[in-house]
Amino acid sequence: MSDSSDVAALSGQLLDHRYQMVEKVGQGGMCVVYMAHDRHTNERVAVKVLLPALINDPVSMARLRREAALAGQLVHPNVCHIVRLGETTGFDYVVMPFVEGELLRNRIIRAGQLPLPVTASFVRDMCAGLHVGHQLGILHRDLKPENIMVVTRPDGSEHAVVIDFSLANGPEVPKLTAPGLVVGTPEFMSPEQLCGQPLDPRSDIYSLAFMAYEMLTGQLPFEGNSQHEVMIARLKGDSIPIRTKRPDLNIPAPIEKVFQKALAHDADRRYPTALAFSDAFSRAAKGLDPRGRILNIFARR
């Protein structure tokens, strides 16, 4: 490879004398992802490169390098980490383990909604991975079903893996956006992120709860005739109670209380950490109160 214009057609090429690019497997707003064969390790990997239009953009290149710097610190079974940042003639690229599975978005579309035990399991997985990042001062900032992979273990069980930390930010990384600029996917953003305000782990928790709500119901916790109206509804107040949205599903009352807290408009009313949200969700799914006492999980009050 010798010309950055070839980024648009890397399939079949040998990158940096090491990575045999097999096929394109995904594309986002900034990058293209390829499945590749690592000739040094004889393993499948994922290689992410900037879109051709962004190759010479210093801000986009800085973001790619930032992702490598941040995600390289996140070594956890529920996070797709960066193996290395590489550089070849004309462009940089990042190498990650190839995570084979089904996107959570595709699972929701295929299934309509997920059972409570499955949702609780995936929430626990995602919270465990995010907590590692939060402990390092790293926020994801773009949590959505398209950035979660459902992976099947050898024993047939499934677990959720958080991918794509390209919009993450950490304490030792220069800010690459102007104050008040909103980046990410608006559909799952917290109210404070929509307003371009400073963020902390509670914003990621909001987005994660937003996803969990959709996983359980197949619908979003706010209503509107357009994405803009849904965003306005999010800025004005709290979410629609989950049992109001889908009374036919008989979702337990404790789960509704967990969502009311995690999706609170005011961040100070939310769970302070991902593990606190995970613990509350798991207990509610089992019909337990915060002290471990058994509740009447279908009680209307």
Encoded amino acid at 99, one letter: V
Catalytic residue among 142, 164, 204, 238: 142
User: Residue 225 is encoded by which pair of tokens?
Assistant: 């005739």
User: Is residue 217 helix, strand or coil?
Assistant: helix
Question: What are the CA-CA distances from residue 166 to residues 102, 223, 245, 246, 275 (Å)?
Answer: 20, 29, 33, 34, 23
Q: Secondary structure of 95-129 in the HEC alphabet? A: EEECCCCEEHHHHHHHHCCCCHHHHHHHHHHHHHH
Region of 133 (left: φ > 0; alpha: ψ -120 to 50; beta: rest) is alpha
**Is 57 designated active site?**
no
User: Residue 128 is encoded by which pair of tokens?
Assistant: 């465990």
Question: What are the CA-CA distances from residue 277 to residues 58, 77, 267 (Å)?
Answer: 38, 19, 13
Distance separating alpha carbons of residues 44 and 56, to the nearest angstrom: 28
- Nearest CA to 213 out of 247, 256, 170 is that of 256
**Radius of gyration, CA atoms only, the chain:** 20
Residue with tokens 């953003």: 189
Nearest 10 degrees: Cα torsion 292, 297, 299, 301: 40
User: Is residue 299 helix, strand or coil?
Assistant: coil
The set of catalytic residues is 142
